[in-house]
Amino acid sequence: TNSDAMEVDTEAMESSMEFTQQGSMVYKGFKINQQGVQISPERDGQVSPFMLKDIKLLEVLGRGTSSVVKKGENTLTGEKMAVKILGTVYNPELRKALHSELKLLMPKLQETPSPYIVRVIDVFYPKEEDMIYIVLELCDAGSLNTAIKNSGKASEKVVSVVMRQIFLALAFLFDHGIQHRDIKPSNVLLTSHGAVKLSDFGSSKEDVNAETFCGTTRYMSPERLNGHEYTPKADVWSAGMVMLEMGFGDHPYHVCFGTDGSFVAMIEYATKYDTPQLDESYSDHARGFAGLCMAKKPEQRPTPGMLVRPENLGASHPFIAQHAQQGNQVVAEWIQQGVRKVGPLLSVAS
């Protein structure tokens, strides 16, 4: 059962966590203390050249059930960053989130990091506080969820540029055998320059056809809602749902089917109803791209790298290729529409 799988994960995490007399936490091959994180005992030095005491914590950017994200400033350099503060390390759910964030520090991902994934700068564990501080790249325009609420329906150019970057991130993860597992607008962060970055890898898992149940139901693929195995094709469906939400200016289920948000309703909408379609203001290429992402059967969905070609954007799906030369400025301008309407509002996934 899913609960059994969760128990096994918890036992494995507990057995892999050790605490040294010097106040370090050793976990999954990482050594973490108030000076930062080391990837292995053989590696000299820390991931970053600063320590936790060098970070000044500022205003709250977002809150989760057991975590808070604050804006931080490196007092040595003035660099702004986001700091995710996790509660006690003895909480199994928080340890899962920690493990997933740490995975992005693995050497194979650090050698050629993706600019489309929020960068993990360092991780700190001051033993006396029993808290974990995850220092992240700051995305100063908040989340795509906030942008949609503030700016409303996006133009085809904006949608194409956003989806291009989301799929470049997914292609990177796919190439490294990692699934995100919780693609939704609140986990897509934006910068004021229009850059788009995937965040919140608290649900991510290496590709082992996982059968644990995770992800936000409104963005889940039909096969996942029916309890079938998780593959990267489920991330493609979720990204397609994000695309539709940008095109509708609201979640497409809410617009097309009503306000029933129950789990049973989600299964009905995803498996038995026709998939919502973008309106006629969007091109056939745009509607075709969304249709491929949201094919009911996972085997009919392309992989991320089939839709967006990282090595040659011009060879991507026409919806991406025709806007391949379009820069991020159109996204920045769309974000600013909402800022002018409601004022600045940051919402960082936590």
In this structure, what token pair is assigned to residue 72?
Answer: 């931080």
DSSP 44: -
Amino acid at 242: V
Q: Show which residues are catalytic.
A: 182
Alpha carbon of residue 83 to chain centroid: 16
Amino acid at 264: V
Residue 128, judged by CB atoms within 10 A of its CB (0-12, 13-18, 19+), counts as exposed
149 is known to lie in a ligand binding site: no
Q: Which among 85, 108, 113 is positioned nearest to 97, based on CA atoms? A: 85
In this structure, what token pair is assigned to residue 165?
Answer: 């970057």
37-54 per-residue burial string, b: 16 or more CB within 10 A, e: under 16: bbbeeeeeebbbebbbee
CB-based contact 136:121 (threshold 8 Å): yes
Amino acid at 336: Q
102 SS3 class: helix
Report the phi/psi class of residue 308: left, alpha or beta, with left for phi > 0 and alpha for psi in -120 to 50. beta
DSSP 5: H
Residues tagged in the binding site annotation for ATP: 84
Q: Which residues are annotated as a binding site?
A: 84
